[in-house]
Structures are given as structure tokens and as C-alpha cells.
Amino acid sequence: MSVKVWTEEELNKVSAELEGGEPQEALKWAADNFERDDLSLACSFGPEDVALVDMLVKIKPDARIFYLDTDLLFKESLDVRDRLIEKYGINPERFAPEMTLAQMEQEYGPELWKSAPDKCCGIRKMVPLGEALSGLKAWVTGIRRDQAPTRANAPVVSWDTKFNLVKINPLVRWTSEDVCDYIKANDIPYNVLHDRNYPSIGCEPCTNPVKPGEDPRAGRWAGKEKTECGLHK
Ligand code: SF4
């Protein structure tokens, strides 16, 4: 396969063509147009990501998958990783911060996630994400348009100006119910915390359960203005 350089115009055209299709069509396009080593799925073990693991592995069994381990993930999230490995035989690549929690506390004081969550996300998520994406030509994410106003216009395929590679969002048009239905229909491992009122799960110190009727992301950085890690802005 020759290495193609995609222009913004071409990506817009591809995105428009994939807009009305099933998520698998976007994944098939990605698998057909990027070498195995140039493409990776970002997996945080949330419902969208486990659904994408299932879809992608069925299209490309040896597809690359990576996750960010902030050292502050729920044990239940790591259990999902282990169950996915067992079910699909995948080998997700782990990217973690260089700075240990003890070093972070020594440098910035205790519980940086409370005093300066942007700084904490920068150290524990953004730097490892940059490492995960360096050298790739495309990445796949599980973002959906109805998750947050910041995601309302997310295209299926676009040029990621922040990290300089192609970004593929196969699930943009799906609702949370669509994702749940797919998980159930395909018997995909998912985080047991979702059954305990945690619709959106990140790091343990920054994730709370939500009350009935609350915004599904209300439990993330509750009480703070922060709504995104910065991964998708
Ligand atoms: S989600 Fe919270 S604990 Fe995790 S990296 Fe961001 S601020 Fe730190």
C-alpha cells in the first residue's frame, strides 16, 4: 500500500460519504487506507470504545489499540481491559506518564487533580497521548456528537490539527442507547460501574456517580468548570 497524504478537502469528501453509513464502514475505510502500524484505536474502556474494539477486531483482527493509564484508573476499568484481551486476543498498548504519583505530589503538592486539574490532565493524559499518537497517521476515537456541546459538530473523518494526523470518529451519529444495544447484542465486556450510575468514567478521583436525569457527564470533574480532558479539543 502506498502512503497517501490526505488533503483537508479529500477528508471532508470522505467524511460526507461516510456520514450516513454504519460505524463499520468508517472503520473499514480506515483499515483499507492506512497500514496496520499507522492506525490505532484509542480505548479508555468506556462503552463506545469497547463497541469499537468489537467492530474493529472483526474487520482487522491485528488492529492496533492503545490506552492511557494515568495510574488513577478504576480497578473496574482495568478489569474491562483484561476481559477484552481474553475475549478478542488483543494486545492493547499502554501509555503512561513518566511522572509517578509520588513525584507529582512532591513537585506540585497533594491531589493536583483538585488544585489544578488541567495541569494534572496535561501530565497524566496529554503527554502520554502525544507519545501514543506520534508516528501514527490516523487514530480512531469513540466520541459521539450528543455527549457534549464541544462534540456536537464532530465529523466522521477529519484532520486533527492538534496532533497532526487523521482522526476517525465512527460513532458520531450514535446515541448512548445505540451503543448499549450493540454491546448487549454482541455480548461485549463492559465496565460494571455503568450499572452503578457511572455513565462516563475517567480517573477515580475525578469521577462520581450521577443522579437519575442528570447529564451523563455530570459526574466528571463534578463541581469544576472543566468538562473535557483536552484529548478531543
Ligand atoms: S481526570 Fe483527574 S486525575 Fe485524571 S488526569 Fe485528569 S485531573 Fe488528573
pLDDT of residue 5: 85
Exposure class string for 179-211: b at 16+ Cβ within 10 A, else e: beebbeeeebbbbebbeeebbbbbbeebbeebe
Q: What is the pLDDT of residues 122-137, one digit of tens each?
A: 999 999 999 999 999 9
pLDDT of residue 226: 62
pLDDT of residue 227: 64
pLDDT of residue 102: 98
Pick the residue whose CA is nearest to atom 4 on ligand 1.
203
Q: Which residues line ligand 1 (CB under 6 A)?
A: 70, 72, 113, 117, 120-121, 124-125, 202-203, 205-206, 229
pLDDT of residue 231: 61
With a cut of 70, list the residues of the chain below it in pLDDT.
1-3, 221, 223, 225-233
CA of 230 to the centre of ligand 1 (A): 11
121 assigned to active site: no
CA of 67 to the centre of ligand 1 (A): 15
pLDDT of residue 148: 86
CA of 4 to the centre of ligand 1 (A): 36
DSSP alpha helix (H) spans, the chain: 8-19, 23-33, 47-59, 75-88, 101-108, 112-115, 117-121, 127-133, 176-186
pLDDT of residue 228: 60
pLDDT of residue 32: 98
Pairwise CA distance, residues 120 & 111, whole Å:
9
